[in-house]
C-alpha cells in the first residue's frame, strides 16, 4: 500500500474526525472530557468546528495526514504546535455554548486538561525555543501497525531536526512504544489528577516524553 504525507484541507476534517474518534475508541478519559460525545454525529461536528476554529486563530497549529495514494483514503492524521518565535499563553480549554452538557462536565474537562498540560507548560517555561508539541496522532483502526503512525511522527521529527527544535508529547500506554522508536524519552509517568469531587471517574495515566533537539 503506497503511503504519502500531506496537509489536510479544511473540507477533509469532516472525513477524518469521525475516524479519529473511532480509533480512540472511547478509551481516553481526557479525550472524552475535552472533546465530548465523539461517538455521536453531533459531537463529531462540534469537534470539527472547534478544530477548525483553533487552526484559524493559532498560527502554531500544523496538521498532517497520511493517505493511500491508490485510493485517496486518509489513513491517519496528526496535529502539532510549532513554537519558534514566541512561547504560548497557558490557557484553559474552552468551547462554544453547548460543548458540554452541564457545568460539572465543563469543570471536569478543564481540571483534567490542566493536569494533562502541567508538565508541558513547565517544560516550555523552563526551556528554550524552538519547541514542537505533538497533540494528536490517530490511525484508522484497520490501518494500524502498517507504518502510518511512523510516517506521521516523522513529519514532526524531521521538521524538528530542520529547525533545531525539541519535541514533546503526552503519550498513552499504547502510544509510548512508537514515540520511543522515534527518539522520545519518558520524563514522567503519572496519573491525571482531578479534584476530590471527580475521584469516582475513570483515571488515566500518561507519559510525558521529550525528544532532544539535534544540531
Question: Residue 196 sits in a domain of what CATH number?
Answer: 3.40.630.30
| Closest by Cα among 187, 165, 192 to 176 | 187
The C-alpha cell of 86 is what? 514566541
Q: Which residue segment(s) compose the domain that 118 sits in? A: 3-211
Q: Could you give the number of structural domains in the chain?
A: 1
Q: Which DSSP state fits 167? A: E
Contact 168, 209 (CB under 8 A): yes
| Local confidence pLDDT in tens for the 215 residues of the chain | 799 999 999 999 999 999 999 998 888 999 999 999 999 999 999 999 999 999 999 999 999 999 999 999 999 999 999 999 999 999 999 999 999 999 999 999 999 999 999 999 999 999 999 999 999 999 999 999 999 999 999 999 999 999 999 999 999 998 999 999 999 999 999 999 999 999 889 889 999 999 999 86
Residue with cell 517555561: 125
Contact 181, 130 (CB under 8 A): no
Order the strands of the 61-68 sheet from edge to edge. 3-6, 61-68, 74-83, 131-139, 166-171, 205-211, 185-191
Alpha-helix runs per DSSP H in 25-147 = 29-34, 41-57, 103-126
H or E segment to which residue 62 belongs? strand 61-68
Q: 127 in helix, strand or coil?
A: coil
Q: Please state the pTM of the whole predicted model.
A: 0.94
Amino acid at each position: 500500500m503506497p503511503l504519502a504525507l500531506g496537509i489536510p484541507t479544511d473540507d477533509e476534517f469532516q472525513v477524518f474526525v469521525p475516524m479519529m474518534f473511532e480509533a480512540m475508541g472511547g478509551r481516553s478519559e481526557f479525550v472524552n472530557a475535552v472533546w465530548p460525545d465523539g461517538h455521536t454525529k453531533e459531537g463529531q461536528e462540534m469537534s470539527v468546528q472547534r478544530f477548525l476554529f483553533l487552526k484559524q486563530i493559532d498560527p502554531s497549529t500544523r496538521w498532517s495526514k497520511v493517505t493511500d495514494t491508490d485510493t485517496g483514503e486518509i489513513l491517519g492524521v496528526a496535529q502539532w504546535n510549532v513554537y519558534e518565535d514566541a512561547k504560548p499563553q497557558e490557557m484553559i480549554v474552552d468551547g462554544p455554548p453547548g460543548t458540554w452538557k452541564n457545568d460539572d462536565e465543563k469543570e471536569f474537562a478543564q481540571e483534567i486538561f490542566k493536569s494533562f498540560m502541567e508538565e508541558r507548560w513547565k517544560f516550555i517555561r523552563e526551556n528554550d525555543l524552538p519547541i514542537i508539541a505533538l497533540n494528536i496522532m490517530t490511525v484508522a483502526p484497520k490501518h494500524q501497525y502498517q507504518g502510518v503512525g511512523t510516517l506521521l511522527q516523522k513529519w514532526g521529527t524531521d521538521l524538528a531536526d530542520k529547525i533545531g527544535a525539541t519535541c514533546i508529547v503526552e503519550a498513552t500506554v499504547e502510544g509510548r512504544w512508537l514515540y520511543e522508536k522515534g527518539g522520545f524519552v519518558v520524563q514522567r509517568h503519572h496519573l491525571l489528577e482531578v479534584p476530590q469531587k471527580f475521584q469516582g471517574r475513570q483515571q488515566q495515566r500518561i507519559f510525558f516524553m521529550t525528544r532532544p533537539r539535534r544540531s
